[in-house]
């Protein structure tokens, strides 16, 4: 999608970039919230982390189940959340993270508690913050699992950012700031530039690692037997077109990848993101057992209240967008007019053009029959 011979269009950048970069701007502003009170009393959840490195901590959340939760205010080695599962015979790692150091940190933590062979590591989807640490697995002989389209999409989206002039990449974003027609539009364009600056910095410095164990979504769900512990891999639409989650039905635990942002505005920029599809997916999550523990792609571990909360965010975006759609406000303008309500004012926004903006333009396209 980045054809360097043809130059970059603004649209290609907005649809073709990853979601973590705005952490460069957000990192110091948003510390990770503490575990919710109800989780602090959940017998599955260990109150003391197995290990806490600042940028991420790892805690036990079930029998053989561990969650890696990132705190970007303290470092960017991991950025997204992940975890690992340990059975009697084998282990499964979740996520490649933003750097090989992040993936290595999680592997070391696994080895603190078990020496069973690692069956594989799963990228829940292709996005940058979940896959730029993949080379760690390659160099350590760990099979890398992901949705069958993941390898292709890593190449399409991140290889073109390597060996490229930074100004050619960021120029269109700077131009959007200059061309902004309102203060809101200018602020949104600035947040997108911050995001893209971060994406470029990491992608251009990373040795890309590609999954070597593609998972055909048509063949999911599939059960993985780790020895007394069965993990189910399932595919759902919504965030990236490559999303695979890990579910432990016997313990009511789900590692969602970015199909869940816990206490965050959802990142919707992906060309394969679908708002109606994602809302359907969240409706299915809401029908999971009421005791389900969710490890989200970003934000703190949560229960069903986290699902209810992101559904409310989508309802609010759709509600405001629908009013503008019916009033004849063009999509280009509507995407900048959304007002964050008080109850979500503490929800981090990666960058406007990666979250709220594309959610609105995609809703418009769905309503106009163009999606
Ligand atoms: Zn993502």
Report the pLDDT value the prediction gives residue 40, as an integer from 0 to 100.
Answer: 79
Rounded to the nearest angstrom, the distance between the alpha carbon of 282 and the centre of ligand 1 is 16
Residue 16 or 341, more confident: 341
Ligand 1 centre from 102 Cα, in Å? 16
Residue 20 has pLDDT above 50, yes or no: no
Distances (CA, A) of 354 to 53, 102, 366: 28, 24, 18
pLDDT tens digits for 187-237? 999 999 999 999 999 999 999 999 999 999 999 999 999 999 999 999 999
Report the pLDDT value the prediction gives residue 39, as an integer from 0 to 100.
Answer: 84
Range scoring the smallest mean pLDDT among 61-65, 68-72, 357-361: 68-72
Average pLDDT of the segment spanning 98-105? 97
Residue 370 in this model has a pLDDT that exceeds 70: no
- Residues near ion ligand 1 (CB < 5 Å) are 19, 127, 258
CA–CA gap between residue 253 and residue 105 (Å, rounded): 22
How remote is the CA of residue 100 from the centroid of ligand 1, in Å? 18
Residue 30's pLDDT band (cuts 50, 70, 90): low
Q: How far is the CA of 15 from the centre of ligand 1 (A)?
A: 12
CA triple 310-197-189, angle to 5 deg: 65
Distance (Å) from CA 115 to ligand 1 centroid: 30
From the list 363, 355, 353, the residue with the least C-alpha distance to 298 is 355
Which of 294 and 30 is assigned the larger pLDDT? 294
As a whole number, the mean pLDDT across the chain is: 91
- From CA 282, how far away is CA 292, in angstroms rounded? 13
Q: What's the gap in Å between 232 CA and the centre of ligand 1? A: 20
What percent of the chain has pLDDT above 90? 85
Task: Output the CA 178–ligand 1 centroid distance in Å.
Answer: 28
Distance between Cα 125 and ligand 1 center (Å)? 7
For the cut 70, the answer to whether the pLDDT of residue 61 exceeds it is yes
Q: Say how many Å lie between the CA of residue 170 and the centre of ligand 1.
A: 21
How far does the centroid of ligand 1 lie from the alpha carbon of residue 127, in Å? Answer: 5
pLDDT at res. 6: 36
35 falls in which pLDDT band (50, 70, 90)?
confident
Mean pLDDT of 129-133: 98
pLDDT at 27 exceeding the cut of 80: no
Confidence at 25, pLDDT banded by 50, 70, 90? low
Closest CA to 286 of 320, 267, 317, 314: 314
Give me the pLDDT at residue 17, please: 38
Task: Please tell me the distance between residue 110's alpha carbon and the centre of ligand 1 in angstroms.
Answer: 24
Tokens of 196: 């893209």
Task: Place 29 in a pLDDT band, splitting at 50, 70 and 90.
Answer: low
Q: How close is the Cα of 53 to the center of ligand 1, in Å?
A: 23
Identify whether the C-beta of residue 140 lies closer than 8 Å to the C-beta of residue 107: yes
Q: What is the pLDDT of residue 216?
A: 98
Mean pLDDT of 287-294: 97
Tell me, in angstroms, the distance from the centre of ligand 1 to residue 327's CA. Answer: 32
List, for residues 150-175, the tens digit of each pLDDT value. Answer: 999 999 999 999 999 999 999 999 99
| pLDDT digits 0-9 by tens, 336-347 | 999 999 999 999
Residue with tokens 């602020």: 187
Neighbours of 163 (CB within 10 A): 8
User: Are the C-beta atoms of residues 103 and 134 closer than 8 Å to each other?
Assistant: yes
Does the pLDDT value for residue 369 go beyond 70?
yes
Q: What's the pLDDT score for residue 10?
A: 40
């Amino acid at each position: 999608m980045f054809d360097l011979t043809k130059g970059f269009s603004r649209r290609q950048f907005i649809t073709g970039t990853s979601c973590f970069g705005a952490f460069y701007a957000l990192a110091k502003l948003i510390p990770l919230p503490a575990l919710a009170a109800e989780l602090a009393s959940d017998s599955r959840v260990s109150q003391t982390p197995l290990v806490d490195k600042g940028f991420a901590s790892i805690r036990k959340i079930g029998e053989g189940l561990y969650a890696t939760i990132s705190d970007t205010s303290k470092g960017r080695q991991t950025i997204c959340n992940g975890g690992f599962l340990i059975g009697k015979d084998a282990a499964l790692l979740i996520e490649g993270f933003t750097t090989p150091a992040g993936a290595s940190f999680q592997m070391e933590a696994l080895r603190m508690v078990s020496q069973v062979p690692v069956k594989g590591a799963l990228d829940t989807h292709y996005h940058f913050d979940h896959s730029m640490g993949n080379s760690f697995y390659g160099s350590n002989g760990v099979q890398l699992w992901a949705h069958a389209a993941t390898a292709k999409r890593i190449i399409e989206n991140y290889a073109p950012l390597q060996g490229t002039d930074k100004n050619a990449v960021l120029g269109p974003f700077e131009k959007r700031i200059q061309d902004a027609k309102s203060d809101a539009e200018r602020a949104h364009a600035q947040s997108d530039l911050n995001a893209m600056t971060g994406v470029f910095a990491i992608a251009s410095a990373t040795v890309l690692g590609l999954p070597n164990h593609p998972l055909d979504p048509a063949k999911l769900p599939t059960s993985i037997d780790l020895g007394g512990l069965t993990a189910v891999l399932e595919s759902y639409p919504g965030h990236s077109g490559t999303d695979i989650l890990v579910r432990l039905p016997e313990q009511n635990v789900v590692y969602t990848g970015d199909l869940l942002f816990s206490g965050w505005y959802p990142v919707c920029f992906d060309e394969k993101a679908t708002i109606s599809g994602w809302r359907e997916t969240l409706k299915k999550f809401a029908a999971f057992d009421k005791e389900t523990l969710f490890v989200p792609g970003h934000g703190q571990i949560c229960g069903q209240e986290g699902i209810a909360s992101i559904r409310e965010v989508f309802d609010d975006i759709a509600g405001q967008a629908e009013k503008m759609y019916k009033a004849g406000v063009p999509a280009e303008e509507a995407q900048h007019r959304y007002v964050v309500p008080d109850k979500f004012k503490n929800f981090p926004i990666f960058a406007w053009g990666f979250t709220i903006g594309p959610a609105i333009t995609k809703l418009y396209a769905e309503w106009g029959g163009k999606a």
